[in-house]
Chain A
Amino acid sequence: MREIQAEEITSVVAEAIKNINFHIRPDVKAELQRALEEEASPLGRQSLQLLLENAQMAAAGVLPLCQDTGTTVIFAEVGQEVRIVGASLEEALQAGVRLATREGRLRHSIAVHPLSRGNSGDNTPAVVHYHPIPGKALKLFVMAKGGGCENASAMAMLPPLASRHGVGDYIVNIIRTNGAAACPPLIIGIGLGGNFETAPLLAKRALLRKIGEFSPDPETAKLEKVLLRRINELGIGPQGWGGSITALSVSIETAPCHIASLPVAVNVECHSHRLTEVKI
């Protein structure tokens, strides 16, 4: 067994959260620069220019990229030969969120109860998904997910024999209705298949993929390209002010499903796309 100190995990998670809130991902920056060159609308280009300037200012480490510093979402891939010492893995991760919130002066954005709405005051709890993996590594995907774009997300249980086009219509309609309010240009994660609880999780997982990479499965990659084109043809554009670039990428993850079902989930992500991967 390999032993990892809980304190080390806490400090790595805190650094990751601070890092993503102040530093734009290189792939996102490259995509925004490409969008700036390709965008047809002058207003759209001006808004993209403003976002690049924003990223530059945030990199100084004082002002986060976005005031919505998000819900922390962590995908923890836990090696089966790893033992955490000093506290539970869950405690170590949540302590990392608390530390990052304090040190990074992040906004307190978590309500402890959906109806009474009291603020947790430290951005806990993070949403954590655990996956056992063989070996001695602990891999963490750490994401700061904005509320505005999460609100634009949706899922449906479609009829099992819906055509590719029909599935596409559902997805494109979600973006048509909700996209402009979700801080476009968007990054779109789609979960196809699974069941009622796994489809949204697949959609979130699809967001972990590097921007600009398509699915290794040719059929899925083809659908991703078609959807990206269709979504950009909506004309929503950067900020929803009209333009040719509404989305930077569409990623689809699939899973087997019941013969009676075709679950589809659309997880909408804003252009800030605060995500990193750390390995301990």
Chain B
Amino acid sequence: MSATWLKLPLEPLVLRDLKVGQWVNLSGSLYTARDAALKQIFDLEADNKQPPVDLKGQLIYFVGPTPPAPGESVGSAGPTTSRRMEHFIPALIEAGVSGIMGKGPLSQSTVKELQRKGIIYLAAAGGAGAFYGSKVRGATITAYEELGPEAIYCMHIENFPAVVAIDLEGGDLFEQGPKTYRKET
């Protein structure tokens, strides 16, 4: 499969060229977050307080990795369900993220909101935890260590494949893909 190489953090200019269904190969640093950490960030935003990490311009990866083997930084690290994070996405938008990555579809209203703010959604392959874990070159806990697998990590990844799922024109892979192959009568 041919893929577009992308450096992290994402350059705003390259986002415009990304199209739904296109593979990208990511290298660089991102931040992880999932339910419990996002809830805390969301609550801080609601109180007009700053999140503990500056997420501006960053790609946020929805993941809760397994513990690392000795000498490694994380274990398996595949995507978790993005739909569960929808409630917190406005807080991430507020924090100025450039993109989000996870698995599965997002609602139409979120798709529109992401498009309006120029934020990309990348889909990683769900259930490929070992594969993605092997693409992580380093990871440090940045916040909420007490949350265990739900802590926020700064993760350095290399050659990490994902598919553009929502592009800046509002294209939505989870809408368009199934429509192409639907055979229901």
Contact = CB atoms under 8 A, between A and B. Distances in A.
B133 to A, nearest CB: 5
B78 interface: yes
A108 B64 CA distance: 10
B49 interface: no
A68 to B, nearest CB: 7
A63 B23 contact: no
Contact of A270 (B126, B148, B178, B185): B126
Interface residues of B, number: 50
Nearest to A107: B66
Contact of B75 (A63, A117, A181, A241): A63
B130 A58 contact: yes
B184 A233 contact: yes
B9 interface: no
A119 B123 CA distance: 28
A241 B174 contact: yes
Nearest to A55: B130
A230 interface: yes
Contacts of A69: 66
Nearest to B176: A242
Given A43-B21, A62-B69, A106-B66, A181 B176 contact: no
Given A50-B161, A58-B130, A180 B183 contact: no
B103 A237 contact: no
B66 A64 contact: yes
Contacts of A105: 66-69, 75
A209 B158 CA distance: 39
A182 B81 CA distance: 8
A221 interface: no
Contact of A243 (B83, B125, B177): B177
A51 B180 contact: no
Please report whether the interface of chain A is mostly helix, strand, loop or mixed according to DSSP: loop
Given A242-B173, A243-B181, A180 B104 contact: yes
A247 to B, nearest CB: 13
A242 B130 contact: no
A119 B148 contact: yes
Contact of B182 (A62, A68, A235): A235
B158 to A, nearest CB: 15
A145 to B, nearest CB: 13
Contacts of B69: 62-63, 105
Give the contact-size bracket for chain A.
35 or more
A93 to B, nearest CB: 22
B178 A180 contact: yes
Contacts of B1: 42, 46
Contacts of A119: 148
Given A237-B178, A243-B177, A181 B81 contact: yes
Given A67-B66, A183-B126, A148 B80 contact: yes
B132 to A, nearest CB: 8
A108 B66 CA distance: 8
Contacts of A180: 104-105, 174, 178
Given A46-B1, A51-B127, A235 B133 contact: no
21 contacts: A51-B125, A57-B130, A67-B63, A67-B64, A67-B65, A67-B80, A105-B66, A105-B67, A106-B66, A107-B67, A107-B75, A109-B64, A109-B149, A180-B104, A233-B183, A235-B178, A235-B181, A239-B126, A239-B163, A240-B177, A243-B177
* 3 nearest A-B residue pairs (beta carbon): A242-B177, A181-B104, A235-B182
Interface of B: 1, 21, 23, 36, 63-69, 75-78, 80-84, 103-105, 123, 125-131, 133-134, 148-149, 161, 163, 165, 173-174, 176-185
